[in-house]
Amino acid sequence: MTLIIMAAGMGSRYGGLKQLDPLGPGGEFLLDYSIYDAVKAGFNKVVFVIKKENLELFRETVGERIEKAVKVEYAFQDIEDIPENGSIPEGRVKPWGTAHAVYCCRKLVDEPFAVINSDDFYGAEAFECLAKYLSQNGADNTGIKADGAVPHRYCMAAYMLKNTLTENGSVSRGVCLDKDMNLTSITEHTKIERLSDGRLINTEDDGTQKELNENLHVSMNCWGFTPEFFNTLEKGLKTFFDVNKGEKLNKAEYYLLTAVQDEIDAGTATVKLLETDAKWFGVTYKEDRPKVVEAIRKLIAEGVYPGKLWA
């Protein structure tokens, strides 16, 4: 099984390449802990999705210290790596979103794989759940449709909204609806924050506010897929370029949750929600950093992690 780590984005709100900010006592980055947990769960290859110009930086700071524990490869999220019907509008420099980031790995991955962000802490339970589901996926026939066609079987680590917040600003989360823990819809909420009175509010683009239940399941971009998903991304990107034209294309992005939702709606995939009680933490804002450092120290003191991961 392969772990794909999306690490091509610069953290604009954080102010820099936050993926390579040392947070552990041995100089570990947040993604080191995800890799450590994934390897323990059974993943045996890591693919970093990065900008090509950051290759040597990643290789020297991350790759060389983990390659003795797991196979490491690099995929480049290149704005020009698009289907034949695509075109790049003048002035576009930003890649095409999270679905495009995974699409750029298609030549390196031909086995079940997980996808995560590089700047989130997910907890060991998430990787254990993903590994178990992906390893059993081929033998699970519960999703066979009446006509005998077997939909793709994907999965997602589902976090409770209340466990994924920061005190230092708003967050974006994919809010999930399900039937018997099978995902039915996922909707991006881009400005969720807890008010002083304790309520959780999402502010829409037009300024309207909606209160959210803190126990809702949300996506933290912690997915499990089979290789067929690359075909979905190919078709989805072709549609993306057909639909978005002119100035609209200059700003548009193709997201993982969009690709997943399209398969659910078409009946070509099921997505099992794997509930975890783990508390997320990450460095969305610079002000988050001290609490993340303290959280890691606490986990080390509790024996969850060694003081130096790759010693």
pLDDT at residue 146 is higher than 70: no
Q: How far is C-alpha 230 from the chain's CA centre?
A: 16
- Say how far apart CA 207 and CA 292 lie, in whole Å: 31
Domain presence at residue 245: yes
Domain presence at residue 171: no
Do residues 129 and 274 touch, judged by C-beta distance below 8 A? Answer: yes
Domain presence at residue 182: no
Domain presence at residue 216: no
Domain that holds residue 12: 2-155+221-265+280-301
- Say how far apart CA 103 and CA 200 lie, in whole Å: 34
- Beta partners for 219? 158, 174
- Say how far apart CA 281 and CA 165 lie, in whole Å: 8
pLDDT at residue 143 is higher than 50: no
pLDDT at residue 17 is higher than 70: no
- The residues, ordered by sequence, that sit 6+ positions from 64 with a Cβ below 8 Å of its Cβ are none
Domain presence at residue 163: no
Domain presence at residue 88: yes
Domain presence at residue 307: no
Q: What is the pLDDT of residues 157-187, one digit of tens each?
A: 999 999 999 888 888 899 999 999 999 999 8
Q: What is the pLDDT of residues 192-242, one digit of tens each?
A: 999 888 888 898 878 888 899 999 999 999 999 999 999 999 999 999 999
Q: Which CATH number belongs to the domain containing residue 82 in this structure?
A: 3.90.550.10
Domain presence at residue 59: yes
The residue-averaged pLDDT of 253-268 equals 92
Number of domains in the chain: 1
The per-residue DSSP string of 93-122 comes to -S---HHHHHHTTTTT--S-EEEEETTEE-
The lowest-confidence range among 144-148, 196-200, 228-232, 290-294 is 144-148
